[in-house]
Every structure is written in C-alpha cells, then in structure tokens.
Chains A and B, each alone.
Chain A
Amino acid sequence: MSTTRRDLLATALTAAGAAAAPRLAGAEESHDHPEPEHQAVPSDPALRTRALESVLVARGLVDRAALDALVDAYEREIGPRNGARVIARAWVDEDYKRRLLSNATAAIAELGFGGEEGEQMVAVENTPRVHNLVVCTLCSCYPWPVLGLPPLWYKSAAYRSRSVIDPRGLLKELGLELAPEVDVRVWDSTAEVRYLVLPERPAGTAKLSEAELAALVTRDAMVGIARVTVASGGARA
C-alpha cells in the first residue's frame, strides 16, 4: 500500500467517526490473502464494523478495553505454540501420552491450556497405520486453546466440502501422499468436542530436547494435513 493510499485510508476512517485510533498496520489487507482486492478506502464491512462498535460502546454493551484484551490474547498468546508443547510432551513422556489419549481435556490442562472452544478435547494419534484429519464441515469448529483461531484454509468451502469425501486426494494435493494400507480417519467436529491430532514423531529426533521437539511441530500437522519433519520447524504454519 502506498503512502497516498495509507493517508486516504486514515482520512476515511476518521471521517467515518472512528472513536478509537485505527491500527493502520492492521487495516492493511495481507498480501497473499485470497480475499478480494485491496481497497484504498475502508471496505464496506470495515465501515459497518466501526458503526456497530460505536453503537455498542455508547450503549454500554461492550467495553473497548475488553475487546482489545481479547484480540491481544488470540493474536499474541493463544496459538499453535500451545499445541506444540502438548505434542512434544506426549512424545517424550509415555505416561503423559496415555493421559492425553484417554482424557485430553485434563492432560492439556496440566500444561495450563483450556477453556473457550476447547472445553471438551479429544486427541487422536497418528501411527504408521492410521492417519487422522480434522474438519468442521458445517462451520469452523477448531480447538482454540491449543491451536488458536483457525486459518482461512480450514474455514474454506474447498476444505469443508472435500475433506470428508476425498481426504486422500486432498492430502495428496497438499503434498501428503498416504499409502493405500494406511487407514484415513476424518473427524468432522460439528458438535461440542474439539480434536487435536497427535502427529508421529519424526525419525532422527531421539536426541532432541522437549523444547526442540516442540519447535518442529506445526499447526498443519496438528490438524492432519501435514507430517512433522525435522525440517518443518515452527507452529507458525
């Protein structure tokens, strides 16, 4: 976005009655985001959102500082690093792994994670014979306490529609080809239970510490569209 477009955006937001200072960096659309084109002035939903927030604040229905705190929690703290710690612990501690697979909610709470959109958790284990894949065909159910808010691909029509009818074809397109003898189990989490995939620990990691193992675990592996590899590195993606 050019300086001129940035100025235009700032002007338009002020004109729209912005009571809180807009975060300009956040107002820019992400560059490889598959949604419609960038706009020089706020998009219609941006204006409507601002109008709604102004009304809700004036009516005493929301507290702006609480909104900021919620955004901060999900943008900076509650994300796939949490899940990666759970996975790494299960890899190094057989007793913990047993607890995770028999009562995931309690095992995840041992590491301090739980709550909204993860009140009831189930962990499913990938093995050389079983591959698990999680979806919500009806909407976007996702285990927030361990993975954060869901990425666009998880919420997309393409993923929601195809994952249940053609999981092998979908995974192959994403670079994960499964042998015919591997059982594919798709978990369509449309109710009130949220699922976490326990990926296979990659070979050649016997000497890694728990923290080093956690650094290898990715979000995509914990949903089931990827494997963990020694090169995968980091739960950012």
Chain B
Amino acid sequence: MNGVHDMGGMQNMGPVRVEKNEPVFHAEWERRVFAMDDAIDGDWPGGAGRYQQELIPPAEYLRMSYYERWLRSLSERLVKSGLVTRKELETGIAEGGNTQGRKVLRADEVRAAIARGFPATRSVAATAKFHVGERVRARNINTTGHTRLPRYARGKQGTIARDHGVFAFNDSRVQGLGEKPQHLYSVSFAARELWGPAAAANDSVHLDLWDDHLEPA
C-alpha cells in the first residue's frame, strides 16, 4: 500500500532528536502493549501486526505514538479473528468466557520463546532468479496490499550484493496468500539512481528484496 508508513525519502519531518539515557519504555501501558503483542498466539502470519498498522489512516498514523499504533494493530487483529469483541475492548469486561484449547505462553516458557524467535528462512528448494553482481530493476508495483518494496526504489536499477537464501515472502504471507518461499537478496542502489545528481556519487542504499520484487535490468 502506498501509505504514509512508506516514509523513505519524504522531507520536512523535522529534526531527529536523540533522547539521553532513554528508558526502554516511557509508560507502564507501553510495557503491557509490547508484552501482550509479543505473547499472544493469534494464529496470525508473521508481519500481520505491521500490515494492520499500515491500514491505520495516514493522518491518524502520524499523530499516534509508536505503541499506540501497536495497541490499535493488536486490537484490530483480535477483533477480526473473533478472539475478543469491540464491546469487550470498550468495557474491559470479558463476556465470552475462557477461550479453550489455545496455546498460552507461560512465564517459564518466555526465555525459550525469545531464543526461538520466528525464523522466516525456509529449507525448501527454490531456484535463485538472480546472482551476486547481476544488475536488476525493482518492479514498479503499486499494490493496495502489503509490500516490503518501498516506493523510493520502484523502477530503479541496482546490483545484487548478497543472496540471503530462501525466505517466506512477506508480501504474500502477511495477507494470508501463502508463504511463496523464494530467495531474498541485498540489492545495492546507487544514491544517484534513487535521488538524482545532487546525491553523493559514492553513496548507496542497500535494500533486502525478494525474487518477486525484481526483474532483469
């Protein structure tokens, strides 16, 4: 989706302010939102939380703080999945009773869950369409769904710098359209190719893109 989340290259967003001795969280509710989002097993595909954030209308997205977006995303996913109702979210009172048969993360399982993570690599055979050193062009796609191909790189030429191996394809799996495992590459784009002659000749942006994002240059 060509949403406001796709910020690379936008201007006039103000200065970058680095907070001294910044705490990990700035309020108690942020701790709880982070932990709930991390702990809950909603049977959602990897990346679903991000896609749900991208669906927040642009003006709201920009006004919300980081964890407000997480809270919105988590709440919407829970309602869509039928795990909670909007009324429950409003009142804080559970009406549906205990949800049976669902795996719930316990405190003594947390360390193992963190160590396991959610690997997106897939051990299936997939032929690499491109090879290190090859010139490629990022496709000019404008999906209303989810994509990891930022607008600023679409239609631009780059060079395959590294083949990361086979990964689930987020553009597809996040929307429940299957994992479509394929090669993921680091693609190097010259800053001048992306931003024109004012950019430094020796600068570059490396983007991780999947086979389906690319075509031969």
Residues of A within 8 A of B (CB): 16-17, 22-23, 26-30, 32-35, 42-43, 45-46, 48-56, 58-63, 65-71, 73-75, 78-79, 114-120, 122, 135, 137-140, 148-149, 151-153, 155-165, 167-168, 170, 173-174, 180-193, 220, 225, 236-237
Known contacts A62-B104, A183-B202, A183-B204: does B36 contact A56 (CB below 8 Å)? yes
Q: How far is the CB of B105 from chain A (nearest CB, A)?
A: 5
- Kindly supply a per-residue 1/0 record for chain B positions 1-32, scoring 1 wherever the CB is within 8 Å of any chain A CB and 0 otherwise: 00001111111011111111111111111011
Q: How far is the CB of B200 from chain A (nearest CB, A)?
A: 7
**Bound complex: CA of A74 vs CA of B184, how far in Å?**
29
Decide if B119 is an interface residue (CB 8 Å cutoff).
yes
Once the chains bind, are A26 and B27 in contact (CB under 8 Å)?
yes
**Bound complex: CA of A17 vs CA of B90, how far in Å?**
13
Q: How far is the CB of A16 from chain B (nearest CB, A)?
A: 7
By a CB distance below 8 angstroms, the chain B residues around A78 are 114
By a CB distance below 8 angstroms, the chain B residues around A148 are 24
Once the chains bind, are A63 and B206 in contact (CB under 8 Å)?
no
Known contacts A60-B98, A139-B50, A168-B203: does B114 contact A158 (CB below 8 Å)? no
| Chain A, residue nearest B113 (CB) | A116
By a CB distance below 8 angstroms, the chain A residues around B96 are 59
By a CB distance below 8 angstroms, the chain A residues around B28 are 22-23, 26-27, 46
Interface size of B by Cβ–Cβ distance < 8 Å?
Answer: 100
Q: List 13 A-B contacts (CB under 8 A).
A: A45-B29, A56-B84, A69-B107, A115-B117, A120-B164, A122-B162, A138-B8, A139-B53, A161-B13, A165-B199, A185-B204, A188-B208, A191-B148
By a CB distance below 8 angstroms, the chain A residues around B119 are 119-120
By a CB distance below 8 angstroms, the chain B residues around A74 are 24, 34
By a CB distance below 8 angstroms, the chain B residues around A237 are 18, 20-22
Interface residues of B in 64-114 (CB under 8 A from A): 65-68, 71, 74-75, 78, 83-84, 88-94, 96-100, 102, 104-107, 109-111, 113-114
Known contacts A71-B34, A181-B202: does B25 contact A26 (CB below 8 Å)? yes
Once the chains bind, are A49 and B71 in contact (CB under 8 Å)?
yes
Known contacts A43-B29, A115-B114: does B107 contact A68 (CB below 8 Å)? yes
B36, B65, B184: the one within 8 Å of A62 (CB): B36
Q: How far is the CB of B191 from chain A (nearest CB, A)?
A: 8
Once the chains bind, are B98 and A59 in contact (CB under 8 Å)?
yes
Once the chains bind, are A75 and B25 in contact (CB under 8 Å)?
yes
Once the chains bind, are B152 and A164 in contact (CB under 8 Å)?
yes
Once the chains bind, are B16 and A137 in contact (CB under 8 Å)?
no
